[in-house]
Structures are given as structure tokens and as C-alpha cells.
């Protein structure tokens, strides 16, 4: 009988652990109001998804605001790798495209365009 009494907390624990942190969200909580916020959102999302704690710097010449999206390009560098990341972020704050070129992403996967 104690088994059935312990079942609801066990189910609750399973539900909570299944719904726990799914990683850095693609959607910015309050959207993005300007290019600076889009850059910050892309930087945080990239840092979460790339191994090795890379140094991340902005590619000023490529980063821009288009008619429907912010296009953000970041340079990624560690002792072993270097490459770049590209984010296309809607004005609502959703990352529509996230690509990494020439850099080890997520333990052996190399992103490409």
C-alpha cells in the first residue's frame, strides 16, 4: 500500500525532470528591440551550444538589420579552433537560423552552411 502512496510524488518528480532545463531558449523572453539586444541573444545562444568556452567577438562588417530580421555574425576562437557563427533573429526575438562554420560544435559535429 505504501507503494501506491508514493506513486504521485514519483510521477510529479518524473514530470518535473522531464520539463526541466531544455537549454538556452531560441526565443528571447521579451523579444529584441534593437540590434544590440539581437547580438546579445545570439552571443548567449552560441555560447550555450558551443564546447570549449570560446572567445566570442562581433563581426562588425557583416552584422546588420534587414527588413525582416537581424543578421548577426560572430567570430569564435579557442586555442584549438576558430570559426564563426551566424544567427538570423526575427524582430520578435526568435532565432530562425543558427549556423556555425569551421568550429567544433557540440562534441564533434561541425556545422556548415
Each domain of the chain, given as residue ranges in start order, spans 27-110
Confidence of residue 86 (pLDDT cuts 50, 70, 90): very high
Mean pLDDT over the full length of the chain: 78
- Neighbour count for residue 92 (Cβ, 10 Å): 11
Confidence of residue 51 (pLDDT cuts 50, 70, 90): confident
Q: Taking a C-beta distance cutoff of 8 angstroms, is the pair 72, 63 a contact?
A: yes
Q: Is the pTM of this model over 0.85?
A: no
Residue 103 has pLDDT above 90, yes or no: no
* Residue 64 in grid coordinates: 546588420
* Residue 88 in grid coordinates: 538570423
Question: Which one-letter DSSP state was computed for residue 106?
Answer: T
Amino acid at each position: 500500500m505504501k507503494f501506491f502512496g508514493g506513486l504521485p510524488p514519483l510521477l510529479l518528480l518524473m514530470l518535473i525532470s522531464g520539463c526541466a532545463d531544455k537549454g538556452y531558449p531560441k526565443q528571447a523572453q521579451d523579444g529584441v528591440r534593437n540590434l544590440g539586444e539581437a547580438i546579445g541573444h545570439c552571443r548567449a545562444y552560441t555560447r550555450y551550444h558551443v564546447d570549449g568556452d570560446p572567445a566570442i567577438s562581433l563581426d562588425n562588417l557583416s552584422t546588420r538589420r534587414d527588413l525582416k530580421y537581424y543578421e548577426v555574425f560572430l567570430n569564435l576562437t579557442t586555442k584549438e579552433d576558430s570559426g564563426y557563427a551566424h544567427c538570423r533573429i526575427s524582430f520578435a526575438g526568435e532565432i530562425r537560423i543558427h549556423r556555425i562554420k569551421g568550429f567544433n560544435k557540440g562534441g564533434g559535429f561541425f556545422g556548415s552552411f
